[in-house]
Amino acid sequence: MKASLIEERVRRILSQLPPEVKLVAVSKFKPVEDIQSAYNAGLRAFGESRVQELLDKIPLLPEDIQWHFIGHLQTNKVRPLIGKVAFIESVDSERLLKVINDESQKNGVTTNVLLQVHVAAEETKFGFGVDELRDFFNENMPEKFPMVRICGLMAMATNTDDDEQVRNDFATAASLFKEIAKSYQNPEFTRLSMGMSGDWPIAVEEGANIVRIGSAIFGDRQYGPTNTEQ
């Protein structure tokens, strides 16, 4: 896509976002040239959903990019990501959290993660259930994973034209986020990542402080559903 168009789209979105909300440009399936254009427009945080694609892109792009991994992650693909990403946003099971913890330990690093909460109507989407996540914190489970820093929650709304449903989904995630922040009392637990190209204004109204926007910046993807399986 034309560099000037990407830069214009980035500037337009940034002008509409409240300053405290961080824009993660979702660059999955897009060439490094397009990522460089968005970088030139000032963006530093990019989201990818496939491990190999991310690893291929990293050496071709500026070192100060913060990569957010946002796709469904299989435990056998965790190792190469450790030390390479700013956040793994899509941690959707305790089993995955444990593997991230153990691989981080082996590498002597702490890994920033967000826990993905399932609030959408579609069963196909990934994530912890709302009650499951509440129990996880009530039972002090984060203590078991000293090499991960649980920095907040990530959520996706139902894929629908019904704005009220979308708002409800985001409100559910936001209220869980606030509840956990209060009881968990960890100063790192501050991020609520929700909102994509079609629904980010609603997500921001409901309290998102990270939005993950792909097609509204880079144009439609030729293939690839959201939250792609590895």
Chain positions 199 to 228 lying near ligand PLP, rule: CB under 6 A, are 212-216, 226-227
- Is position 26 an interface residue for ligand PLP (rule: CB under 6 A)? yes
- Residue of the chain from 70, 81, 174, 203 that contacts ligand PLP (CB under 6 A): 70
Asked if residue 196 binds ligand PLP (CB under 6 A), the reply is yes
From first CA to last CA, the distance across the chain in angstroms is: 26
User: How far apart are CB 140 and ligand PLP at their closest, in Å?
Assistant: 28
> Residue with CB nearest ligand PLP?
214
Between residues 105 and 197, which has the closer beta carbon with respect to ligand PLP? 197
Cα dihedral sign, 146-151-152-154: negative
With b for 16 or more beta-carbon neighbours within 10 A and e for fewer, the 108-130 pattern comes to eeebbbbbbbbbbeeeebbbbeb
Q: Does 158 bind ligand PLP (CB under 6 A)?
A: no
**Residue of 49, 101, 172, 209 interacting with ligand PLP (CB under 6 A):** 49
Closest distance to ligand PLP from the beta carbon of 105 (Å): 27
Element of type H or E holding 156: strand 148-156
Q: Which is nearer to ligand PLP, 136 or 214 (CB)?
A: 214
Does position 160 interact with ligand PLP (CB under 6 A)? The reply is no
For tokens 């880079």, the residue is: 218
Residue 131, token pair as written in the block? 């009650």
Q: Give the residue with the Cβ less far from ligand PLP, 90 or 101.
A: 90
DSSP labels for 94-133? HHHHHHHHHHHHHHT--EEEEEEEE-SS-TTS--B-HHHH
Q: Kindly state whether residue 51 participates in binding ligand PLP, applying the rule CB under 6 A.
A: no
Residue 115 to residue 155: CA distance in whole angstroms: 8
| Least distance to ligand PLP, CB of residue 28, Å | 6
Burial class (CB in 10 A: 0-12, 13-18, 19+), 169: buried
> Where does this chain touch ligand PLP (CB under 6 A) — which range of 30-38, 117-125, 143-151, 191-199?
191-199
Number of helices (H) and strands (E), helices first, in the chain?
8, 8
Q: Which residues bind ligand PLP (CB under 6 A)?
A: 26, 28, 49, 70-71, 156, 196-198, 212-216, 226-227
